[in-house]
């Protein structure tokens, strides 16, 4: 068998040995996209989620960076009793696009990687609508070895949906006192 054919066959076998997928959630809000992006496009998101949703995340710490591409965060889950599941992970921002309102963060250590995922990426997109409203689209993309495919059932957008709702409520609460002063 020629070397190239052998290499291609090996690549196809590796591709078949992995399972992947994506899940997404959309949350529509009456806030303008720019207002939502002020939080999602900055480090404020990591600061607010543990305050607003301590049952989702207990702590988010800046390891390196300034909120732009290359920033690394250490994310810690709240204690869950005797669970042996990973309790933290590090994520790295691969995309932070302030014009298109897109942020992508990929787990680089711990978390789902400890559960034999090869890739776990979260993408936030804030899409403005003509009527001044916006949509927060949260997407999870993942790849897992076929032998651990059952772990794919752990992937969910439930926490991302809760974050979108809580952040929207927080932004509205912050805007209300400002509007009252104007």
Residues noted as catalytic: 103
Structure tokens at 135: 């949509």
Maximum alpha-carbon separation in the chain: 77
* Cα–Cα dist 88/76, whole Å: 4
Question: 3-class SS at 71?
Answer: coil
Where are any strands of DSSP class E within the chain?
18-29, 59-64, 72-76, 88-97, 102-110, 117-128, 134-145
């Amino acid at each position: 068998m020629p070397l190239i054919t052998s290499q291609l066959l090996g690549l196809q076998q590796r591709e078949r040995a992995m399972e992947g997928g994506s899940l997404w959630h959309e949350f529509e809000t009456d806030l303008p996209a720019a207002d939502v992006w002020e939080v999602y496009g900055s480090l404020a998101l990591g600061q607010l989620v543990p305050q607003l949703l301590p049952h989702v995340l207990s702590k988010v710490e800046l390891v390196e960076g300034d909120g732009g591409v290359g920033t690394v965060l250490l994310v810690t889950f709240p204690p869950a009793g005797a669970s042996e599941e990973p309790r933290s992970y590090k994520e790295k921002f691969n995309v932070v696009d302030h014009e298109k309102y897109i942020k992508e963060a990929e787990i680089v250590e711990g978390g789902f990687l400890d559960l034999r995922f090869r890739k776990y990426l979260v993408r936030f997109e804030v899409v403005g609508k003509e009527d001044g409203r916006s949509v927060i689209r949260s997407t999870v993309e993942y790849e897992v070895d076929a032998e651990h495919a059952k772990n794919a059932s752990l992937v969910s957008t439930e926490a991302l949906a809760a974050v979108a709702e809580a952040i929207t409520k927080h932004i509205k609460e912050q805007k209300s006192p400002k509007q009252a002063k104007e």
